[in-house]
């Protein structure tokens, strides 16, 4: 069974989704550690209650990003993970760290990349007036929020939406697609070719996502 380490900075709701999928028998992984850069991260307590080893490494105790990342990598490597999963880890990682875990470091981002990289994605989606928004699981590369895409989930943007309601709708999809992406990885179904992810046994029935919804009589 493959080993994963999860990095968090807060509650770690996507970490919770991974633990729940593991406990339900839907995700055959050994979550060997959860590591945070914040001692007050709620997810540390959640992980500990689930019997997972936890660690806290204070990024403020280091002279710079490279020094912190070096210590973080040292801690991660003590657990010999097959995969490192970012679940709300609010740190920009150095190029050397990312290259050290090339092909085995993944992240989830709350937008349909390459649209809206960075922060405040939901508010920016509303300001741009897009009709479809969502989330993306991707391999991490030195280019911020720009690695090969594994899976995406889309949700409609409603006229009644504000940042909170749109964020909540996207988060529900994050909790579904992140365990799926991790499962594909641990089952060796993912390969990267020319900067694109290929998935073994992809879905046989491609669907079309449209928002607002169209019917035979027009817009619904």
Alpha-carbon span 170 to 155, nearest angstrom: 7
- Give φ, ψ of 69 to 5 degrees: -60, -35
| Nearest alpha-carbon partner for 89 in 103, 68, 74 | 68
The answer to whether residues 34 and 6 touch, using CB atoms and an 8 Å cutoff, is yes
- Residue 52: exposure state from Cβ atoms within 10 A (0-12, 13-18, ≥19): buried
Return all residues near 210 (Cβ < 8 A) that are at least 6 apart.
none
59 is catalytic: no
**Residue with the two structure tokens 């880890």:** 89
**Residues 59, 109, 122, 175: which is the catalytic one?**
109
Alpha helices in the chain (DSSP H): 13-23, 42-49, 65-77, 95-100, 121-128, 163-186
Could you give the residue numbers annotated as active site? 109
């Amino acid at each position: 069974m493959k080993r994963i380490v999860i990095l968090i900075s807060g509650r770690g709701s996507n970490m919770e989704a991974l633990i729940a999928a593991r406990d339900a028998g839907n995700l055959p992984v050994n979550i060997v550690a959860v590591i945070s850069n914040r001692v007050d991260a709620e997810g540390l307590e959640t992980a500990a209650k689930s019997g997972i080893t936890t660690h806290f490494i204070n990024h403020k105790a280091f002279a710079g990003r490279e020094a912190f990342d070096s210590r973080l990598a040292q801690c991660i490597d003590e657990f010999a993970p097959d995969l490192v999963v970012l679940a709300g880890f609010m740190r920009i990682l150095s190029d050397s760290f990312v290259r050290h875990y090339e092909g085995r470091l993944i992240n989830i981002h709350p937008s349909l990349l390459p649209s809206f990289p960075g922060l405040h994605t939901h508010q920016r989606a509303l300001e741009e007036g897009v009709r479809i928004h969502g989330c993306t699981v991707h391999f991490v590369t030195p280019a911020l929020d720009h690695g090969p895409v594994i899976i995406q989930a889309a949700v409609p943007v409603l006229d009644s939406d504000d940042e909170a309601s749109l964020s909540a709708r996207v988060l529900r999809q994050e909790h579904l697609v992140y365990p799926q992406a991790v499962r594909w990885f641990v089952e060796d179904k993912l390969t990267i070719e020319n900067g694109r992810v290929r998935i073994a046994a992809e879905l046989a029935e491609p669907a079309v996502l449209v928002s607002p919804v169209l019917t035979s009589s027009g817009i619904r």
